[in-house]
């Protein structure tokens, strides 16, 4: 029986979470995919770095072509983050006939059309469920079971790092810097956490959500965006005194045929459902003209929740691999 071979570009938070799941759930994944799935190559900057996970050193390389040009790799998982070289690697992988899975919202948001077009031109699949909401299957839901709707509104907390920071500042009175450091240690934050705290990561995710839900591609830099770096302990105390919590909200609404969108911190009444979303959890409200209001909730960051979505995409692709 064919074994599906996966090449991991990067073995940081997302790569290691994906590796761990493919190993710990090997049997159930093989059953779901209809065939075994294994990691056959790993791109790492430092081959000899000591890691918490047990990877055969023979499959680690610092040369991307060992994966991108390998005859045996079927699916490339891009887990490097950042727009480049990640985008070029994904395009080269697809041109070499490989399916691609990524969690990289920056690359998907910046090069949405190009990546989808390359996949279609090369007859391969390109999947990116993990790029929005970590382990929450929001993109799949919007693209499949909810496709019969016309969507009117999306409102969500889609960055685990900033939600974790705001929660720790609000509930434990932690200073901003201490809360950020803790989020980094837990593997929630981007390599450069500026993308998290300035709302750029949320804008990337809103671009992807709007493209799928509304069929409109808006560049992330065209979304009015404000992060949380200027939120002070005083702002949080004032909100609390008023029975409110501050949350970083991605919002898109279609009114009279016009789409309005923004990313900004908002004061929500404590009984608002999004006010109860704490720590690295994310939640997305979406309104469709048939289904009404829906709310998706789950862990939006971290190696295993994000790896869960990556592995889901790997399985869906593996089911279709028949050669
Ligand atoms: N840095 C991101 C976050 C990771 O904190 O949500 C998941 O996209």
Quick: pLDDT tens for 152-170: 999 999 999 999 999 999 9
| Domains contained in the chain, CATH given | 4-135+303-320 (3.40.50.720), 139-299 (3.30.360.10)
From residue 141, how far is each of 129, 217, 286, 294 by CA, in Å? Answer: 10, 19, 11, 11
Q: pLDDT-based confidence at 196, cuts 50/70/90?
A: very high
Of 205, 245, 247, 254, which is the active-site residue? 205
Per-residue pLDDT at 133 exceeds 70: yes
Check if 205 is active-site. yes
**Average of pLDDT values for 104-128?**
98
Rg, C-alpha atoms of the chain: 20
Whether ligand 1 lies within 6 angstroms of the CB of 102 is answered as no
CA-proximal residue: ligand 1, atom 4 (nearest): 301
74 lines ligand 1 (CB under 6 A): no
Q: Measured from the CB, is residue 198 less than 6 Å from ligand 1? A: no
Contact 135, 305 (CB under 8 A): yes
Q: Give residue 7 CA to ligand 1 midpoint distance, Å.
A: 22
Distance in angstroms (rounded) separating the CA atoms of residues 126 and 212: 14
Q: 123 C-alpha vs ligand 1 centroid, how far in Å?
A: 30
CA nearest ligand 1 atom 1, residue: 189
Q: What pLDDT band is residue 297 in, cutting at 50, 70 and 90? A: very high
The pTM is what?
0.97
CB neighbourhood size of 279 (10 A): 18
Grouping H, G, I as helix, E, B as strand and the rest as coil, residue 9 is: strand
Query: pLDDT-based confidence at 279, cuts 50/70/90?
Result: very high
CA of 133, closest atom in ligand 1: 8
213 and 186 Cβ atoms separated by less than 8 Å: no
Distance from the Cα of residue 163 to its chain's centroid:
15
């Amino acid at each position: 029986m064919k074994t599906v071979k996966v090449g991991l570009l990067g073995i940081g938070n997302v790569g290691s979470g994906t590796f761990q799941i493919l190993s710990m759930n090997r049997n159930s994944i093989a059953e779901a995919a209809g065939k075994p799935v294994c990691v056959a190559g790993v791109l790492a900057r430092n081959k000899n770095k000591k890691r918490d996970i047990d990877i055969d050193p023979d499959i680690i390389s610092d040369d991307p072509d060992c994966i991108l040009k390998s005859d045996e790799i079927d699916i490339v998982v891009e887990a490097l983050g950042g727009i480049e070289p990640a985008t070029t690697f994904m395009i080269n992988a697809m041109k070499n006939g490989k399916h691609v899975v990524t969690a990289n919202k920056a690359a998907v948001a910046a090069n949405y059309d190009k990546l989808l077009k390359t996949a279609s031109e090369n007859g391969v699949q390109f999947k990116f469920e993990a790029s929005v909401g970590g382990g929450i299957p929001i993109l799949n839901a919007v693209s499949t079971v909810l496709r019969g709707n016309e969507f009117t509104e999306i409102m969500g907390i889609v960055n685990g790092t900033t939600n974790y920071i705001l929660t720790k500042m609000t509930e434990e009175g932690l200073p901003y810097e201490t809360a950020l450091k803790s989020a980094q240690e837990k593997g929630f934050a981007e390599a450069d956490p500026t993308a998290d705290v300035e709302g750029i990561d949320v804008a990337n995710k809103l671009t992807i959500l709007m493209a799928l839900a509304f069929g409109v591609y808006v560049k992330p830099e065209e979304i009015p965006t404000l992060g949380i770096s200027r939120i002070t302990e005083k702002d949080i105390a004032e909100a609390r005194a008023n029975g409110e919590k501050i949350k970083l909200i991605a919002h898109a609404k279609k009114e009279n045929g016009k789409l309005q969108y923004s990313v900004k911190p908002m004061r929500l009444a404590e009984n608002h459902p999004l006010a109860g979303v704490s720590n690295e959890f994310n939640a997305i409200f979406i309104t469709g003209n048939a289904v009404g209001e829906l709310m998706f909730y789950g862990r939006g960051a971290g190696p295993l929740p994000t790896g869960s979505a990556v592995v889901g995409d790997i399985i869906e692709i593996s089911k279709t691999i028949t050669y």
